[in-house]
Structure 1
């Protein structure tokens, strides 16, 4: 029996007499066809996108939206390229025939505008209705700071603008005008009469820290110049804004802040926070410190 089982003439093919074999062949053929059609449709769409992009660049009229930069996979857009070489991608997308220009870029289902040419920038500054930073606020609060959906809804609903007078048609209650409230408080604290005491506190904090550094009349070598300025100037600015109690209660707050800052370029590229090791712990430490403060 053993010699029969291992003999050259023996062949075990249980699917030959079953109806599954033709079915599997059909599935393979259908899958191959779908893959081929998808691939060729992506190539066709990519070529058509480049043609439309070039046509809009050379025949576009004033007042039209900037052309959309072509991407091989429409929904993903430029996310993959930005992830690996963001600066090179932006240089290509915002340059045409050696001159700076503007474009639209699809990025994970969103459409981002990159304004680089002089005429568009000048026109943008003249349009008050386009001056609201509410969209960047939402992106930063959601992806950088992890704000919950319920809290973000207040920002999403605010269409009143950053000025004292709401935009025409806005029905947002005055207490929910987070765009205006944020803009007004920043303006009050960082300009005009509010800037002088802030500058005074910052200068005094820097001088105080300089006096406490182990630096005399001789040269002292520091391993990291950036870290030196972060600890000296960065901590002084934070203290002038929040007061000394922030660091009295959280001695490591400044270190955690700069650790948090190093993670931001990755998050800005669209990488989910759970794929960035160590980020969640640093963010939680900062949030806990602010709650304690």
Structure 2
């Protein structure tokens, strides 16, 4: 690649023949890999393609000069050589122009300027192929180039997606606003991934009333069709809050404990389990689904867990392939999930009344499960545009949201704890002390979920292992962010990992005990008395604002001031991190099930830590599996390497 760039400089402004005549076959594999081939591809097809293209260029270099003098290609190889060289030239011109435009945008001092665009090789397509193929690596390069202060864009075909990484601008993503919408992103996800029928999409597309009881000014949506408001009302009434979260978590923990005891593979002797991740996710899925949706759905559909994880494996394909004929297996898996949910709905309606959500009605029953699920069914049936298929798509989305992030993150919690013997010993000691001290006071489920270290472990895993994009569309006028201006109609995104890896705002240890943001540190969310984070400018609340309401303060170095060791007890805190710790969105749009997700992961860890010895089989000390970037930007990333999932365990 260096020789290509050198040649660009040497022949800038000279004739085409001089430029192309100096490119040798040795340059082409480097360039073609960037343009056409997946990163790191090493299969036979790729090798043969490399050889073919190199042969074409080596044979065609001499011909290019003749072609420019009016001679026509005489062989297929010469035609191919000409095509390759012209493609290279087009790509080199494109990357040069977009690179210059990006540099000028960054260096410009004028106000109201457009953000820079990441330079790209392919005209029109832009960065869409690397975004769809290995978006995790693309975003890593993106952040390395622009850092955390400069909003910048990706050209994705005919669409531009601008990323905002400066924490001071994060609050625009966290509150409903007439100027910010999520309709196009939401509608695409609903239609492709969840299978929402086309006739129901206008219900979501036309709802401009917001999620509050009072609609936004100018909204004419009928009260029964305010789908966003109904969703938020049901979630905040029956899912969010300490009472609902604790109740659901306790039910989940009881079911998990019961399922572990009843599992035939759990024995008193050491056994090898070749796919511990699959075992863990099936255990957690069954427990969380029963706790949320009732026991009848699993009795009626015994293979629901298998159907769901097959569907989840195809979700990245569904996101990237809007045509059924291009991905028949993916759409078949989605259809199977929809059929499962419709079967459950019909069975539950025949045996239960989903309108019973009053205080005197049971909090949980076996057919529809929680009041939250029943409340959703109630307002679904009140909306004329929602038929059985639309209701099924909604509950596929519910189970997807309740399972995917929390279960995959729990695997990473297990990996980090069970590969660190000292940390595992601390977790077991905490669990033992809670068991001895919380009798008659609060449930073990609650005490575990509120323990500072256990909360910090969970939060650190979500910081590192969730790679999602909080996306919005700019409505109304152009969006002004400092000296930058995002044009109306553009899409903007807050990338969770760019926020989570910003070393300017996170604790990174000390010079003697460093903990870089790229690595797991169990105590990153623990704060000692009088300690301030880099993201904080004060340790009190003189203005009376809640954390999510306060503008992001200027960063300053972490200045821990610790009392005597005998009295220093850290607490778990996200103070000062509301704009950078965003695995569950933020502000008024924060996921209402985030408390349940925390209790779910922590109590699953503790139940296994107390009752089992688990030995993760890793190649070397300090090794960790790669994250499966194919699931970017869907949220929590599962492990890519299969070796780490193999484990040996025995009942303790």
Do both proteins adopt the same fold according to a TM-score greater than 0.5, normalized to the shorter chain? yes
Matched, 1:200 2:250: yes
Comparing 144-153 and 68-77, the one that deviates more: 68-77
Q: CA RMSD in A?
A: 3.3
Q: Secondary structure at the match of 2:98?
A: helix
Query: Structure 1 residues 124 and 137, CA, compared in 2 at 3 Å: closer, same or farther?
Result: closer
Q: Secondary structure at the match of 2:273?
A: coil
CA contact 2:256–2:283 (8 Å) conserved in 1: yes
How do residues 229-268 of structure 1 correspond to structure 2 at under 5 angstroms? Answer: 229-268=280-319
Indicate which of 185, 205, 211 corresponds to 2:261.
211
Which residue is equivalent to 1:227? 278
Deviations 1:42-78 (A, max 9, x none): 7655533322222222226676553333334454232
Which residue is equivalent to 1:189? 238
Q: TM-score, structure 2 length as denominator?
A: 0.36
Q: Secondary structure at the match of 1:104?
A: strand
Query: Structure 1 residues 236 and 153, CA, compared in 2 at 3 Å: closer, same or farther?
Result: same
Q: For 1:62 and 1:189, locate their aligned partners in 2 and report how far apart those are by CA, in whole Å.
A: 47
Matched, 1:54 2:93: no
CA contact 1:82–1:269 (8 Å) conserved in 2: no
Query: Structure 1 residues 97 and 224, CA, compared in 2 at 3 Å: closer, same or farther?
Result: same
Q: For 2:116 and 2:141, locate their aligned partners in 1 and report how far apart those are by CA, in whole Å.
A: 13
Q: For 1:116 and 1:235, locate their aligned partners in 2 and report how far apart those are by CA, in whole Å.
A: 37
Q: For 1:274 and 1:130, locate their aligned partners in 2 and report how far apart those are by CA, in whole Å.
A: 37
CA contact 1:256–1:286 (8 Å) conserved in 2: yes
Matched, 1:137 2:174: no
How do residues 1-293 of structure 1 correspond to structure 2 at under 5 angstroms? Answer: 44=93, 46-59=95-108, 66-96=115-145, 99=148, 101-122=150-171, 124-125=173-174, 128-129=177-178, 133-192=182-241, 193-214=243-264, 215-270=266-321, 272-293=323-344
Q: For 1:171 and 1:182, locate their aligned partners in 2 and report how far apart those are by CA, in whole Å.
A: 18
Q: For 2:234 and 2:109, locate their aligned partners in 1 and report how far apart those are by CA, in whole Å.
A: 41
Deviations 1:133-189 (A, max 9, x none): 544421211121232322112211122223333233322222222222223323333
Q: Secondary structure at the match of 1:96?
A: helix
Q: Once the 2 structures are TM-superposed, how far is the Cα of residue 41 of structure 1 from its aligned partner?
A: 7.2
Q: Secondary structure at the match of 1:170?
A: coil
Q: For 1:209 and 1:130, locate their aligned partners in 2 and report how far apart those are by CA, in whole Å.
A: 48
Query: Structure 1 residues 92 and 60, CA, compared in 2 at 3 Å: closer, same or farther?
Result: farther
Query: Structure 1 residues 267 and 237, CA, compared in 2 at 3 Å: closer, same or farther?
Result: same
Comparing 91-100 and 176-185, the one that deviates more: 91-100
Comparing 225-234 and 113-122, the one that deviates more: 113-122
Query: Structure 1 residues 292 and 178, CA, compared in 2 at 3 Å: closer, same or farther?
Result: same
Which residue is equivalent to 2:348? none
Q: For 1:198 and 1:54, locate their aligned partners in 2 and report how far apart those are by CA, in whole Å.
A: 52
Query: Structure 1 residues 185 and 95, CA, compared in 2 at 3 Å: closer, same or farther?
Result: farther
CA contact 1:125–1:131 (8 Å) conserved in 2: no
Which residue is equivalent to 1:29? none
Q: Secondary structure at the match of 1:278?
A: helix
Q: For 1:182 and 1:64, locate their aligned partners in 2 and report how far apart those are by CA, in whole Å.
A: 38
Q: Once the 2 structures are TM-superposed, how far is the Cα of residue 223 of structure 1 from its aligned partner?
A: 1.4
Comparing 169-178 and 117-126, the one that deviates more: 117-126
Q: For 1:243 and 1:130, locate their aligned partners in 2 and report how far apart those are by CA, in whole Å.
A: 39
Q: For 2:224 and 2:297, locate their aligned partners in 1 and report how far apart those are by CA, in whole Å.
A: 28
Q: Secondary structure at the match of 1:221?
A: strand
CA contact 2:314–2:333 (8 Å) conserved in 1: no
Q: Once the 2 structures are TM-superposed, how far is the Cα of residue 95 of structure 1 from its aligned partner?
A: 3.2
Q: Secondary structure at the match of 2:155?
A: strand
Q: For 1:65 and 1:168, locate their aligned partners in 2 and report how far apart those are by CA, in whole Å.
A: 30
Comparing 165-174 and 153-162, the one that deviates more: 165-174
Structure 1: any 5+ residue segments left out of the alignment?
Answer: 1-24, 26-34
Q: Once the 2 structures are TM-superposed, how far is the Cα of residue 233 of structure 1 from its aligned partner?
A: 0.9
Greater C-alpha radius of gyration: 1
Q: For 1:270 and 1:113, locate their aligned partners in 2 and report how far apart those are by CA, in whole Å.
A: 22
Q: Secondary structure at the match of 2:224?
A: helix
Comparing 254-263 and 142-151, the one that deviates more: 142-151
Which residue is equivalent to 2:448? none
Aligned residue pairs, count = 262
CA contact 2:146–2:152 (8 Å) conserved in 1: no
Deviations 1:83-139 (A, max 9, x none): 332222122223336557432223243332333332332554467456755444212
Greater per-residue helix proportion: 1
Q: For 2:126 and 2:246, locate their aligned partners in 1 and report how far apart those are by CA, in whole Å.
A: 46
Q: Secondary structure at the match of 2:271?
A: coil
